[in-house]
Amino acid sequence: MAPKKVYSICGMCSVRCPIQVEVENDDVVFIQGNPHDSGMAGGLCPRGAAGVALLRDPERPQYPLIRVGKRGEGKWRRATYDEALDYVAEKLSAIKKQHGAKSILWSDRGGPFADLHKAFMRGIGSPNYCNHDASCARNVMHAAKSVMGYGRKGVAYDLRNSKHIVLQTRNIFEAINVKEVNGALDSLKNGGKLTVIDIRANVSSTKANNFFMIRPGTDYAFNLAVINCLLSNNWYNKKFASEYIHDLDVLADFVAPYTPEWAEGETGIPAAKLVAFAKELKAAAPAVLWHPGWMVSRYTNSFYVCRSIYIINALLGSIGAKGGLPLINKPKDFGRKGLKAFSDLFPKPEDKRVDGAGWKLKHIDGGPGLINKSIEAIETGDPYPIKAYIAHRHDPLHALPDPERQREILDKLDLLVSTTFSWSDTAWFADVVLPLSTYLERESPLATKNGLKPYFFRRARAVTPRYETRSEWEILGGIAKRMGFPELSFETAEDMWNYQLTDTGMSIEDFDATGEVPVTDTAKYRSFEKLSFPTPSGKIEMHCQKLEDMGFESLPAYTPPSEVPEGAFRLTFGRCALHTQGHTLNNPMLNEQMPINPVWINSSKAREMGIADGDEVYLVNGEYRSKTIAYVTEFIHPEAVFVVHGFGHRLPPESRSSQGIADQELMIGGLDKIDHAGGGVALQEHFIRIEKSSAS
């Protein structure tokens, strides 16, 4: 008999690509990109292909655990799922009674299923729902809103139709989203140009027409000079600007001193090359896509770099344009009703957020808030105490800086719960571990993908859970029922889906054939006559009143990055194609391919220190030191060293993941280093030293 095909959603990273899972005898025999989804073209990334190894891995959490020793000591008692849910619900109820619902904090990884999580927090009555984004794309989000009124996902990034893609702090071919990779490849195949601005030569740069190795932390200087160049040469789109840009004169005055020659001194990129590049942009406009970045929690001015990128896109007329940043569509734009939200089941909690987002910090979006600020409140009790924390699909000890300091803070909690399908530092430090079924063994809520061609999609259960693990809807529903808000508790996944499908005209069976229900057959681009922007002026704004009201400038003068101390390096980090953050290191297939994260060191610097490629070295910050091997290359800026983030797990249940270094551990004092205007944690404001190991 041919294997059964289940259409579902990958869970090996937060991109959630559509997949086709072939199942035989309740086991997964093959996974590929959903062939019915043209964006996937049947493809997957290496991590998606390694999902089978996750499913079969006995080194993942297999059953609920309740801590019996000290936090982090690793002494647990095995509990049944019902016992663990009873335990969590009783503790949460007691904390709620004593300190109020608002003393309960939640964090997750955002994304299309987060509505269920938000509803859960509303059911409890706490405003303190956070996601991870303060250490990821918050600066991009706030930058987009400050310029266009729309968030970063209010526009699509139309890679496929672009004539010139610019990647600045964005590595599309290693920091993967399969549809984006396919789109970018199509653009290149059709003669589109690619420019990469990075501190090192990554895989994306190997496909680029222009590669600019920029001095770390000087991107704002480069971008101001590009703006200067576009304006002073009249290479911007005047028609677009006069119709859609509110206050261009403010910008022109501001950038006047920032010439390409000036920028060269800051960035190291020759002025003539910058000018030639700006001219190429003019030639390709408006089908230019200067990507605003994704992981830009890097510097204290990253928010302003992102703002400058949206401004450049606006000057080129790319915002709203095919091949640029066209406005996205939602099902309602095609007269379709959206999925019924779980959050609608409960009123919005009245208390103010503990992190100040949306009230004390009016320029910060209250939606997912700032998790780093919320964690600080555990320590300070300001503006009120936090007593319980549920880290759901989130490993703050890995995802935020300075885990040693975080452990001191988290240890003040009355309850720390981790729900996860893999071991993480946070799970190991938790009071209760609620193991989640892998994405191949669980259903998720139905979800919507907005875009040029919006669609609804479903993650279906491909095989039965291997261990005593559960789906999110079962875990949260189980706690909700026990805490007295059973509206969020569904008997079956079908009951949950049927709730979401209320009045949409769709049925569960509509998802059976391909896993997706499209809203339209063809991509819809809004015509320029229909562009409108939800800003105070209705146009794209150079000057943002919301920022100014909070004491931030809209167009601050350039200030150079902090000096790298003599003999030290700026610590930088990023992704590789073979791992996802901190949660795939112990995956047998992926660990075999990449068991360690070598540190990239510029060859001239390495020579001075007597370090050869492959030598064992220590990365040192104060008392803290961590060992890896050196990757000596001329393709990284000499001021920086680079490591792939996510390594350095040293957890007893995991036998494969012990090598490499954890960059966040070197970021001592990093919880307090933030980009105040954009809200992102500034993770690249740390300097380390390198010592050769005596073994080398």
Which amino acid is present at 154?
A: G
| Closer CB to ligand SF4, 15 or 629, in the complex | 15
Mark the segment that binds ligand MGD (CB under 6 A) among 151-159, 171-179, 269-277, 449-457. 171-179
**Tokens 């499908």 correspond to what residue?**
501
Q: Which secondary-structure segment (H or E) carries 631?
A: strand 624-633
Going by C-alpha positions, the residue among 655, 393, 587, 470 that lies closest to residue 79 is 470
Given a contact cutoff of 8 angstroms between Cβ atoms, the answer to whether 256 and 225 are in contact is no
Contact 171, 202 (CB under 8 A): yes
C-beta of 31 vs 213, nearer to ligand SF4: 31
Binding span for ligand SF4 by CB under 6 A among 40-48, 128-136, 486-494, 510-518: 40-48
Among 31, 136, 248, 531, binds ligand MGD (CB under 6 A): 136
Pairing of strands 624-633, 616-621: antiparallel
Using CB under 6 A as the binding rule, whether residue 31 contacts ligand SF4 is answered as no
Cβ closest to Mo ion, residue 39 vs residue 680: 680
**What residues numbered 402-421 form the site for ligand MGD, per CB under 6 A?**
419-421
Q: Is 671 in the site for ligand SF4 (CB under 6 A)?
A: no
Write down how long the chain is.
696
Task: Kindly state whether residue 178 participates in binding ligand SF4, applying the rule CB under 6 A.
Answer: yes
Contact 599, 626 (CB under 8 A): no
Question: Is residue 442 part of the contact set for ligand MGD (CB under 6 A)?
Answer: no
Residue 114 C-beta: closest distance to Mo ion, Å: 14
Taking the C-alpha atoms of residue 255 and residue 238, their distance in angstroms, rounded to an integer, is 17
H or E segment to which residue 409 belongs: helix 403-410
Q: Which of 67, 160, 363, 393 binds ligand MGD (CB under 6 A)?
A: 393
Binding site for Mo ion (CB under 5 A): 136
Closer Cβ to ligand MGD, 393 or 673, answer by number: 393
CB of 396 to Mo ion, least distance (A): 13
Q: Which is nearer to ligand MGD, 419 or 500 (CB)?
A: 419
Element (H, E) at 296: none
- Nearest residue (CB) to ligand SF4, 12 versus 415: 12
How far is Cα 221 from Cα 197, in angstroms, rounded to an integer?
13
Q: Where are the beta strands (DSSP E) in 436-474?
A: 447-449, 455-457
Q: Which residues of 228-253 are buried (b: 16+ CB within 10 A; e: fewer)?
A: bbbbeeebbbeebbeebbbebeebee
Stretch of residues binding ligand SF4 (CB under 6 A), selected from 144-152, 173-181, 397-405, 443-451: 173-181
Residue 375 exposed, middle or buried by CB count within 10 Å (0-12, 13-18, 19+) = buried
Q: How far is the CB of 69 from ligand MGD (least distance, A)?
A: 21
d(CA 507, CA 342): 18
Name the CA radius of gyration of the chain, rounded: 25
Q: Are strands 76-78 and 65-67 parallel, antiparallel or unpaired?
A: antiparallel
- Reported as type and span, the H/E element at residue 639 is none
Residue of minimal CB distance from ligand MGD?
574
Using CB under 6 A as the binding rule, whether residue 449 contacts ligand SF4 is answered as no
**Closest-approach residue to ligand SF4 (CB):** 48
Per partner kind, with CB cut-offs from 5 to 8 A, the member of Mo ion, ligand SF4, ligand MGD, none near residue 463 is: none
Q: Which is nearer to ligand SF4, 176 or 666 (CB)?
A: 176
Give the three-state DSSP class for 214: coil
Closest separation in Å from C-beta 173 to ligand MGD: 9
- The helix-helix angle for 371-380 and 403-410 (nearest 10°) equals 50
CA distance 142 to 25: 48
* Residue 492 neighbours by CB under 8 Å, 6+ apart: none
Structure tokens at 685: 């404001």
| # of chain residues touching ligand SF4 (CB under 6 A) | 13
Number of shown-chain residues binding ligand MGD (CB under 6 A): 54
Token match 């069976």: residue?
A: 509
Nearest one of 367, 348, 343, 347 to 357, comparing CA atoms: 367
Residue 585 beta carbon to Mo ion: minimum distance, rounded to whole angstroms: 17
Whose tokens are 């066209």? That residue is 326
**d(C-alpha 325, C-alpha 556), whole Å:** 25
User: Residue 17: which of Mo ion, ligand MGD, ligand SF4, none does it interact with, CB under 5 to 8 A by kind?
Assistant: ligand SF4
CB nearer to ligand SF4: pick between 16 and 164: 16
Quote the least distance from Cβ 469 to ligand SF4, whole Å. Answer: 19
Least separation in angstroms between residue 202's CB and ligand SF4 is: 17
Q: What span, in angstroms and rounded, lies between the C-alpha atoms of 95 and 65?
A: 20
Work out whether the CA dihedral 234, 236, 237, 242 comes out positive or negative. Answer: negative
Contact call for residue 575 and ligand MGD (CB under 6 A): yes
The site map against ligand SF4 for 43-72 (x = CB under 6 A) is -xx-xx------------------------
CB atoms closer than 10 angstroms to residue 191:
7
Residue 582 is a binding residue for ligand MGD (CB under 6 A): yes
Which C-beta is closer to ligand SF4: that of 47 or that of 170?
47
Give 112 or 268: the residue with its C-beta nearer to ligand SF4: 112
Sign of the Cα torsion 12, 18, 24, 29 reads: negative
According to CB under 6 A, which one of 187, 489, 580, 659 is a site residue for ligand MGD? Answer: 580
111 or 270: CB nearest ligand SF4: 111
Residue 9 as a binder of ligand MGD (CB under 6 A): the answer is: no
Cα separation, 227 vs 208, in Å, equals: 22
Contact in structure between 597 and 643 (CB atoms under 8 Å): yes
392 binds, among Mo ion, ligand MGD, ligand SF4, none (CB under 5 to 8 A by kind): ligand MGD
Report the 10 Å Cβ neighbour count for 536. 13
Contact between 298 and ligand MGD per CB under 6 A = yes
User: Is 416 a residue that touches ligand SF4 (CB under 6 A)?
Assistant: no
CB of 130 to Mo ion, least distance (A): 14
Binding mask 8-27 for ligand SF4 (x = CB under 6 A): --x-xx-xxx----------
Residue from 424, 554, 591, 626 in contact with ligand MGD (CB under 6 A) = 424
d(CA 295, CA 304): 14
Alpha helices in 502-549 (DSSP H): 545-549
To the nearest whole angstrom, how small is the minimum distance from the Cβ of residue 371 to ligand SF4? Answer: 22
**Residue 172 sits in the site that holds ligand SF4 (CB under 6 A):** no
Task: Please report whether residue 11 would count as binding ligand MGD according to CB under 6 A.
Answer: yes
**Would you say 470 or 575 has its CB closer to ligand SF4?**
575
- Site for ligand SF4, rule CB under 6 A: 10, 12-13, 15-17, 44-45, 47-48, 176-178
- Site for ligand MGD, rule CB under 6 A: 11, 13-14, 109, 132, 135-136, 168-171, 175-176, 197-200, 202, 214, 216-217, 219, 293-295, 298, 392-395, 398-399, 419-422, 424, 436, 572-575, 577, 579-583, 642, 645, 663-664, 683-684
